[in-house]
Structure 1
Amino acid sequence: MDKLAVGDKVALIAPAARQVRGTEWMIEKAGEILEGWGLRVQMYGSPAERHFYLAGTDEQRARHLLDALREPDVRAVFVTRGGYGSPRLLPYLRESFSASDRYFCGFSDLTALLLTFEQRFPHICPIHAPAVATPAFCGDEPQSVLNRDRLQRVLFEQADAYQQPIEVIKSGSASGPLSGGCLSVLTGLLGTPFEPEFSDRILFLEDVNEKPFRIDRMLTQLKLAGKLQRLRGIVFGDMCACSDSQNDLHEVIADVLQGVDCPVVAGFSAGHARLNIAFRLGQQAVIDGVTKTFSLQA
């Protein structure tokens, strides 16, 4: 897919939760940052649209999503925030849906859309990256600056190689396309027409505010559903606030994943922590059990 260029048009949408009261200014700030990259930004929908905890009804949010995906000259779609609501839009995505090539950037609840685009719509390039109307993108902290710089390089330069040290939970080395996302969201897709497939991939998992027994339950569900068979490897991103005082999360993971025939590592800087490294779903990744590093290939 072609790189973004100065002057390209991009869309800003809210397909999931409504903006937290008092943070509406972040939508404007996100637009200013994207315009500072030389992009032409169009907001689809209005921050005033609300339906319970969502940024509008399913019909409203689906219309904004589809409009942003169908507009011929939109080169990339950015989401304001995650939260909840994206899986409710999946029925609006039909197999016959077509659009010109474009990027779609988001994470967390947007895992439902990212995986569907990766596995069903090859003309849409899903990028796991911070939602733009959040502190992880709009903030002034060093991690926020790194997040912005990383995403800009991925989109404008396709300079997406990356390497970092990781913690080994189960030894071994592997390479393959990287797929996955928020553990609780992708687990929620099991048994639906949008159930993802991870065979011959390195599975990326991250989450927030899930205690070890809940991580255990979701991994066990994936295991019983056969989703952990024929994997190249498993890499855990940031598991924010997922530990407790009595159970070591990595020990729990090692226990649950006994019998899974692939290397398992943890510590990839992607997820709900302030540092959230952008990457393409389907990007080639390498787990090196000797050097204890995880790499994304350009």
Structure 2
Amino acid sequence: MEVLHMICETPSSETVIAPELWICAPSRALTVVPGDERIDHERIDAASDALRALGWSVKEAANVRQVDKSFAGTDAQRAAGFEEAMCAPQADLVLALRGGSGTARILDRINWDRVGASHAVFMGLSDLTAINLALYAKCGKASWQGPVAAAFSIPDETRVEFFMRAMSRPLFEEKLVAQGEAIEAEGVLWGGNLSVLTSLIGTPYFPQIDGGILYLEDINEPAWRVSRMLSQLKLSGVLQRQKLILAGDFTGTDRNAGSGAGRYTLRDAMSECGLPVVYGLPYGHINSTMCLPFGVSGRVTLRDETLVIRADNCPVPTEFPGAQQANAPLWWV
């Protein structure tokens, strides 16, 4: 992937003291081996150390190192841990530990009024798409799709640059290499993991967004399953209300896609959805994933394989490492 440029702005308001980052675990437990009962303390510690090295004061929700039937605690414990992190008095940013499965199981256990009143900013990926959708549907609260905390246990300079740049200022702008027909569109940026997103259609946790710019990613879903999920979005009326699709990384989708006249790929599935599609977004289950705001108005332009995504008024932590001033008044002072 290639990042062509970035734009920096100086935050405003009060002096930064110690930006607080909480790790929550609404999904699966991070174990040494999938399905094991042994928590991977080494990887969690490595992720925390990497985030501290970036200037964050790292705290953990009570269930981060728990395991129950492959999940990071019972449904009640995971819901309580999410609320604990989001509603901590000085929480600036909340990162999910990992994706996996199980997040949707706790949505009806969360006090969304309490979470919606929080000043903390949430970021997640994959299964945590359920949280992004619910935050917007139940609270009107914008959030982020981006790397989970465990990803930081593996060094990746591009991921860190995307992450720190996105968290540093309300203006989001990235200039990237992408493919597709020339297009210019404005609308609400939203999306996430395609499998999780379609699973919540028809629930109170799925927002109705008109004129949106929908970004999507997934992993190990063959093209025929992607097609089925896109059909569900279309038949439920969701796709017709969007302006375009930004296709991120669909890891493994074209593996075993067939050959000759029988070959069916991601681009075949996407081409049938009835919307313009931009390909090549460095976003999804990849080491160097970018961050994308969820629930804010943005503008997308693609010309000559140069994609520019811009959004104002993105949710950002009140305090940010290395900043001379906070992005907003410190409400706890």
When normalised by structure 2's length, the TM-score is 0.79
1:70 maps to which of 58, 77, 87: 87
How much does 1:175 deviate?
Answer: 2.2
Are the equivalent residues in 1 in contact too, given 2:138–2:204 (CA < 8 A)?
A: no
How much does 1:145 deviate?
Answer: 1.7
How much does 1:274 deviate?
Answer: 1.8
How much does 1:158 deviate?
Answer: 4.3
1:211 maps to which of 217, 222, 225: 222
What is the match of residue 128 of structure 1?
A: 145
Matched residue SS, 1:130: coil
| Structure 1 runs of 4+ with >4 Å offset | 1-6
CA distance in 1, matches of 2:89, 2:60: 15
CA distance in 1, matches of 2:234, 2:79: 32
1:270 maps to which of 272, 283, 307: 283
CA distance in 2, matches of 1:91, 1:53: 20
How much does 1:68 deviate?
Answer: 1.2
- For residues 158-197 of structure 1, the aligned pairs below 5 Å read 158=170, 160-168=172-180, 172-197=183-208
- For residues 67-146 of structure 1, the aligned pairs below 5 Å read 67-97=84-114, 98-122=116-140, 124-134=141-151, 137-140=152-155, 144-146=156-158
Residue type of the partner of 1:64?
A: G
- Structure 2 CA distance for partners of 1:151 and 1:5, relative to 1, 3 Å: farther
Moved more, 281-290 or 204-213: 281-290
Are the equivalent residues in 2 in contact too, given 1:6–1:37 (CA < 8 A)?
A: no
- Structure 2 CA distance for partners of 1:281 and 1:34, relative to 1, 3 Å: same
2:249 maps to which of 233, 238, 254: 238
Residue type of the partner of 2:154?
A: G
Matched residue SS, 1:42: strand
- Structure 2 CA distance for partners of 1:204 and 1:296, relative to 1, 3 Å: same
- Structure 2 CA distance for partners of 1:132 and 1:269, relative to 1, 3 Å: same
Are the equivalent residues in 1 in contact too, given 2:145–2:291 (CA < 8 A)?
A: yes
When normalised by structure 1's length, the TM-score is 0.88
What is the match of residue 166 of structure 2?
A: 154
What is the match of residue 296 of structure 1?
A: 309
How much does 1:45 deviate?
Answer: 1.9
- Structure 2 CA distance for partners of 1:251 and 1:132, relative to 1, 3 Å: same
- Structure 2 CA distance for partners of 1:5 and 1:87, relative to 1, 3 Å: farther
- For residues 282-293 of structure 1, the aligned pairs below 5 Å read 282-293=295-306
Are the equivalent residues in 2 in contact too, given 1:72–1:99 (CA < 8 A)?
A: no
What is the match of residue 294 of structure 2?
A: 281
**What are the superposed Cα offsets for residues 125-159 of structure 1, whole Å, 9 maximum, x if unpaired?**
4111111113xx2213xxx2211222122223446
Find the structure with the greater CA-based Rg: 2
Are the equivalent residues in 1 in contact too, given 2:300–2:309 (CA < 8 A)?
A: no
How much does 1:25 deviate?
Answer: 1.5
Are the equivalent residues in 2 in contact too, given 1:171–1:263 (CA < 8 A)?
A: no
**What are the superposed Cα offsets for residues 62-118 of structure 1, whole Å, 9 maximum, x if unpaired?**
111111122221111111100011111110234533433111111100000012213
CA distance in 2, matches of 1:44, 1:224: 39
CA distance in 1, matches of 2:159, 2:53: 15
Residue type of the partner of 1:295?
A: V
Q: Matched residue pairs, number?
A: 287
- Structure 2 CA distance for partners of 1:70 and 1:46, relative to 1, 3 Å: closer
CA distance in 1, matches of 2:200, 2:69: 22
- For residues 37-52 of structure 1, the aligned pairs below 5 Å read 37-52=54-69
CA distance in 2, matches of 1:154, 1:5: 17
- Structure 2 CA distance for partners of 1:294 and 1:92, relative to 1, 3 Å: farther
CA distance in 1, matches of 2:154, 2:305: 31
Residue type of the partner of 1:185?
A: V
